[in-house]
């Protein structure tokens, strides 16, 4: 008899808590503004690359006042290694101006205002809410979406459905830490082009009888 989603969720939690009792924050930042910029830059880019780029950017502009005074080209030249440079540099400059005009230079502490900012989607807002404000949020990207499918925690075809499924399975108090634990596990043991649902301890524990590589539903 196959396991239920809830039973698999408990297995996942047990293994992740044992492997990552503490979860460091992947993106270097010193306040909510630098966190917001770093998360925005991390779209389709590795955290390591972002952490190499942000010190140069924050050395000349670590707050909305200074950032809004830079030209888009000045920002672009620094953040270019992160990819999507023209789009991201415009978003960073524009959101800095909006923070000054509408929020007294502070990063807003709610999803609606965050997601209304240029370049800030639901996933970015979720990371800022959880890591910046300590509000329970489950930031699901394609990385977590893929693992949740492999582990039988969702059959959702998109990140929105996967986020809803994970929030049902795990207590709200676990979301902020669990989101990071899943990311770390994926990077270390269950990469996109390895494991394929067959090799890592979580995949084997959730599906001990699986013999064929897992086929993902594309987001």
The predicted-structure confidence for 197-216, as pLDDT tens digits, reads as follows: 999 999 999 999 999 999 98
145, with CB counted inside 10 A (0-12, 13-18, 19+), is buried
Q: Is pLDDT above 80 for 218?
A: no
**Matching CATH number, 32-133, of 1.10.20.10, 1.10.340.30, 2.130.10.10, 3.40.109.10:** 1.10.340.30
Average of per-residue pLDDT values in the chain = 96
Query: Does pTM top 0.75 for this prediction?
Result: yes
The answer to whether domain 5-23+138-206 has CATH 3.40.640.10 is: no
Neighbours of 194 (CB within 10 A): 10
Mean pLDDT of 78-88: 98
Mean pLDDT of 98-115: 98
pLDDT score recorded for residue 216:
87
- On the question of a common fold for 5-23+138-206 and 32-133, the answer reads no
pLDDT score recorded for residue 63:
98
Active-site annotation, residues: 123, 141
| φ, ψ at 146 (rounded to 5°) | -65, -45
Domain boundaries, the chain: 5-23+138-206, 32-133
Mean pLDDT of 167-187: 97
For residue 166, CA distances in Å to 3, 147, 163 come to 16, 11, 5
Share of the chain residues as helix, strand and coil, in percent rounded to the nearest 5: 60, 0, 40
pLDDT band at 156 (very low <50, low <70, confident <90, very high): confident
pLDDT score recorded for residue 2:
82
Mean pLDDT of 88-116: 98
pLDDT score recorded for residue 219:
58
Mean pLDDT of 152-179: 96
Distance between start and end Cα atoms, the chain: 29
Rounded CA gap, 132 and 120, in Å?
15
Q: Is pLDDT above 80 for 83?
A: yes
pLDDT score recorded for residue 3:
94
């Amino acid at each position: 008899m196959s396991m239920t989603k809830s039973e698999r969720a408990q297995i996942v939690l047990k293994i992740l808590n044992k492997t990552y009792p503490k979860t460091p924050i992947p993106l270097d930042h010193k306040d909510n503004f630098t966190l917001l910029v770093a998360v925005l830059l991390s779209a389709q880019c590795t955290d390591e690359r972002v952490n190499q780029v942000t010190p140069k950017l924050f050395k000349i502009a670590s707050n909305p006042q200074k950032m809004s005074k830079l030209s888009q080209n000045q920002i672009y030249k620094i953040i270019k290694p992160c990819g999507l440079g023209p789009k991201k540099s415009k978003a960073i400059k524009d959101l800095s101006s909006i923070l000054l005009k509408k929020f007294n230079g502070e990063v807003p502490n709610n999803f609606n205002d965050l997601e209304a900012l240029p370049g800030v989607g639901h996933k970015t807002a979720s990371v800022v809410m959880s890591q910046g404000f300590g509000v329970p949020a489950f930031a699901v990207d394609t990385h977590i979406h893929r693992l949740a499918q492999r582990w039988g925690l969702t059959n959702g075809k998109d990140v929105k459905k996967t986020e809803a499924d994970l929030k049902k399975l795990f207590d709200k108090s676990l979301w902020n830490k669990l989101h990071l634990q899943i990311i770390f596990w994926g990077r270390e043991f269950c990469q996109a082009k390895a494991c394929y649902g067959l090799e890592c301890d979580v995949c084997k524990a959730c599906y001990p009888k699986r013999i064929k590589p897992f086929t993902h539903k594309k987001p």
